Amino acid sequence: MAFSVKAIKGTNDVLPSESHKYQYVEQAAIDTAKSFGFLEMRTPVFEYTELFDCSVGETTDVVQKEMYTFNDKGDRSITLRPEGTAGAVRAFLEHGLFNEPLPQKICYLTSCYRYEKPQAGRLREFHQFGVEAFGAGTAVQDAEIISLASTYLNYLGIDKVALEINSIGCPECRKKYTQALKDYFENKKGELCETCLSRLDRNPMRILDCKSPVCSKVAENAPVVLDFICDDCREHFESLQKYLDTMGIEYKVNPQIVRGLDYYTRTVFEFVSKYEKTEGLVVCGGGRYDGLIEELGGSAIPACGFGMGLERLVLIMEGAEIQFPEAPKYNLSIVTAGENAVLKALEISSDLRSEGYSVSVDTVGRSIKAQMKYSNKIGAEYTVVIGDNELQENKARLKNMSDGTEEEISLEEFSEEFFKIVVKNSMNAVATADFSGMTQEDINNIFKF
């Protein structure tokens, strides 16, 4: 029987020509998080289904429509993680991290799975950069989380984004708001979609998050949550705004933000793209979830965090023509002629690779001419040809592929002399460089040796 050799709908291959983009945004994410004191956590790709039912919420689209759930061979209900927070909280509890100094600050790069209609910036398998802070209930922690996201986006050059914030209150003050929503939508039941009708009694706040344009129109005049929050939640929200003002982070209060997961309390926020090609795309979403750890069996430990889709980040950067660092190039391509030359090339390449250099050696048996063409195609920074004459004289000509200059280099002391030549050429580049108009990446490349 024939089988398909195509990727499953909603998944995406990252080819070698594109992988450096994801490596860049991933490394920048970990480095930025580290600068704020967040260390990496890694959790399994699947969990018991009950974890997501309890944390994400049974009335959310994620649980009702989008989760990849199956029974394993032990007849246990298992779900591929649809988001990162629930697994992080489970690990926090299971491994007793609450006994460590609080707050515990963790970050992660993780794959997530949701069965939804694939479109630009939305896949069924996607990847998230997320951070979580366990054990701090102050608005200062909210502000730090938002600052981390803002710092990361600015580092990547994504500056045309709008931060929108809201408070959805605590469970106590939200009871009044829930009742007000029920009263409002009860009179408009005939206009709601079937899904929102089922939400009306169980969780009417989910109606505000409905993607249907009809329901969105109905919700435009619904009661505003900020009119119902208690004094403590209002003070928390006002403090957050004060801290953001102090850090110079611009924001807009948007009372319509509720986020799509049930565990949120008080602060919720989104960074929304303002670039022409990705207008309105949510780049990052997060907030506070003070009741989730207790809901999953722990103590009443406050927490907050965010999730950011990496595919969306790359999509926005490509659409806005934000420059990525160049794909890594070979530092050296060794062109060989004859078996003895191959042996010498393998010896030299082993020495250089142990020093951190990237070296290409012909493994196909091409002619010298074909090897030189290949060196050009792969963008090697330097090329050296080794044949019988070079082996006999124990020296060769090292060619700088950027300017065509050549220098004699010893085959016996190749590693040491190669390093000196690279350093010398780098210093010459620094001495003659005009730094005006250069990007930081251009400057970094000049100093790299």
Tens digit of each residue's pLDDT (9 = 90 or more) over 202-246: 788 878 877 788 888 888 888 899 999 999 999 999 999 999 999
Say how many CA atoms lie within 13 Å of 110 toward its Cβ: 26
What's the mean pLDDT when you consider all of the chain? 89
Query: Rounded to an integer, what distance in angstroms lies between the CA atom of residue 351 and that of residue 414?
Result: 9
- Going across the sheet that includes 69-71, the strands are 46-48, 77-80, 69-71
pLDDT grade for 449, boundaries at 50, 70 and 90: very low
Instruction: Indicate the residue among 319, 343, 364 that finishes a domain.
Output: 319
Is 197 part of a structural domain of the chain? no
SS3 content of the chain, % helix, strand, coil (to 5): 45, 20, 35
The residue range of the domain holding 82 is 19-170+229-319
Judge whether 287 and 269 are in contact, CB under 8 Å.
Answer: yes
User: What was the pLDDT predicted at 82?
Assistant: 93
Whether residue 310 is found in the same domain as residue 405: no
Three-state DSSP state, 331: coil
Is 260 a residue whose pLDDT tops 80?
Answer: no
Is 272 part of a structural domain of the chain? yes
User: What was the pLDDT predicted at 446?
Assistant: 47
Q: How many CB atoms lie within 10 A of CB 49?
A: 17
User: What was the pLDDT predicted at 258?
Assistant: 78
Whether residue 353 is found in the same domain as residue 431: yes
Whether residue 44 is found in the same domain as residue 65: yes
Contacts of residue 17, Cβ cutoff 8 Å, sequence gap at least 6:
327
Q: Kindly report the CATH number assigned to the domain that includes residue 53.
A: 3.30.930.10
Contacts of residue 5, Cβ cutoff 8 Å, sequence gap at least 6:
none
Whether residue 400 is found in the same domain as residue 299: no
Please state the pTM of the whole predicted model: 0.87
Whether residue 273 is found in the same domain as residue 315: yes
Query: Rounded to an integer, what distance in angstroms lies between the CA atom of residue 201 and that of residue 184?
Result: 12
Who wins on pLDDT, 214 or 359? 359
Whether residue 155 is found in the same domain as residue 270: yes
Q: Kindly report the CATH number assigned to the domain that includes residue 348.
A: 3.40.50.800
Query: Rounded to an integer, what distance in angstroms lies between the CA atom of residue 334 and that of residue 285?
Result: 49
Mean pLDDT across 110-115: 94
Cα R_g (the chain), whole angstroms: 28
Percentage with pLDDT > 70 across the chain? 92
pLDDT in tens, 123-170: 999 999 999 999 999 999 999 999 999 999 999 999 999 999 999 999
Whether residue 132 is found in the same domain as residue 244: yes
Which amino acid, 45? Answer: V
Query: Rounded to an integer, what distance in angstroms lies between the CA atom of residue 179 and that of residue 183?
Result: 6
Judge whether 106 and 39 are in contact, CB under 8 Å.
Answer: yes
Q: How many CB atoms lie within 10 A of CB 161?
A: 23
Who wins on pLDDT, 432 or 414? 414
Judge whether 62 and 208 are in contact, CB under 8 Å.
Answer: no
Domain count, the chain: 2
Whether residue 246 is found in the same domain as residue 291: yes
User: What was the pLDDT predicted at 247?
Assistant: 97
Query: Rounded to an integer, what distance in angstroms lies between the CA atom of residue 220 and that of residue 108?
Result: 36
Is 222 part of a structural domain of the chain? no
Is 182 part of a structural domain of the chain? no
Whether residue 342 is found in the same domain as residue 419: yes
Whether residue 343 is found in the same domain as residue 435: yes
Q: For residue 119, what is the DSSP state?
A: B
Helix (H) / strand (E) element for 85: namely helix 85-94
Mean pLDDT across 357-381: 95
Query: Rounded to an integer, what distance in angstroms lies between the CA atom of residue 74 and that of residue 77?
Result: 9
pLDDT in tens, 303-347: 999 999 999 999 999 999 999 998 889 999 999 999 999 999 999
User: What was the pLDDT predicted at 205?
Assistant: 82
User: What was the pLDDT predicted at 432?
Assistant: 53
How big is the chain, counted in residues? 449
Judge whether 310 and 18 are in contact, CB under 8 Å.
Answer: no
pLDDT in tens, 37-59: 999 999 999 999 999 888 776 55
Whether residue 257 is found in the same domain as residue 375: no
Is 65 a residue whose pLDDT tops 60?
Answer: yes
Is 399 part of a structural domain of the chain? yes
Whether residue 253 is found in the same domain as residue 341: no
pLDDT in tens, 265-309: 899 999 999 999 999 899 999 999 998 999 899 999 999 999 999
